Amino acid sequence: MVSRDIYEIFTSFQGEGSLLGRRQIFIRFRGCPLECFYCDTRAARMKDPSLPPARPEKVIETVKELITPDLHSVSFTGGEPLASPDLLRELAERCRGLGLSCYLETAGVDARIFQKLIDLFDYAAIDVKLENHRAVETRGAWKKLYQEEIECIRTSAASGLHTIVKVVIPDDTTSSQIESLCREISDYRIDLILQPLTGIKAPSLELLFDLSATAGRYLGKQVMVIPQIHRLYQDGLGKKMR
């Protein structure tokens, strides 16, 4: 089954953040307005108008087939799920109807849409883009995106969700960038994940120590340095829609 809105569905273990290693069913949406230089899901960035729209009942059939006794939650990931708000709402509602916990992975590109949907989720993992991530073309566009992300974090934390804030750390990240972010979110109960980039722009251990200490001045024990580990896993263990 293929769809213009959904790239794939599979079961595996969460490879990022404070729920690392939890078994999840991943629903990966197509479409993302950002262009982060480190993106590892480029194949899902664009929707494919030549394909039929997703059929929610078929998606849920696949989800049901992938449920296992160790399942933690259903992860709605991307791409960018907020780029397909109507489909995201319907699928999350159906998953909750099955008694499944719902986990949203987003770059927080639209705080208004996020606020309308947040009651459907138990967990929100919000990926904050620093200016050196090159997610958008201009400084003005980045400032707007950054404020949308901060507002999503505030909304999530104030709603009582388990809120995970992730920041990818390339080697040119500065303490002032991390300090500025932490000042914005220090009043909220969140997990802050500093995720070191792997490859040619990987940060040094000394830089990670420095950034973690900087964040800790505002968030204390809520700060964690956790690299991606899902590349250690096989390509998923279940049915995929492609």
Residue with tokens 């194949």: 43
Q: Residue 40, annotated ligand binder?
A: yes
**pLDDT class for 1, splitting at 50, 70, 90?**
low
Tens digits of residue pLDDT in 154-172: 999 999 999 999 999 999 9
pLDDT at residue 234, rounded to an integer: 52
Q: Residue 140, annotated ligand binder?
A: no
Tens digits of residue pLDDT in 7-29: 999 999 999 999 999 999 999 99
CA 212 to chain centre: 20
Q: Residue 13, annotated ligand binder?
A: yes
Q: Residue 28, annotated ligand binder?
A: yes
Is residue 105 within 8 A of residue 230, CB to CB? The reply is no
Residues 169 and 181: their CA atoms lie apart, in Å, by: 13
Q: Residue 79, annotated ligand binder?
A: yes
Inform me whether the pLDDT recorded for 242 exceeds 50. no
Domains of the chain are 6-167 (3.20.20.70)
Q: What mean pLDDT value characterizes the chain?
A: 92
Q: Residue 14, annotated ligand binder?
A: yes
Is residue 202 within 8 A of residue 228, CB to CB? The reply is no
Q: Residue 32, annotated ligand binder?
A: yes
Q: Residue 41, annotated ligand binder?
A: yes
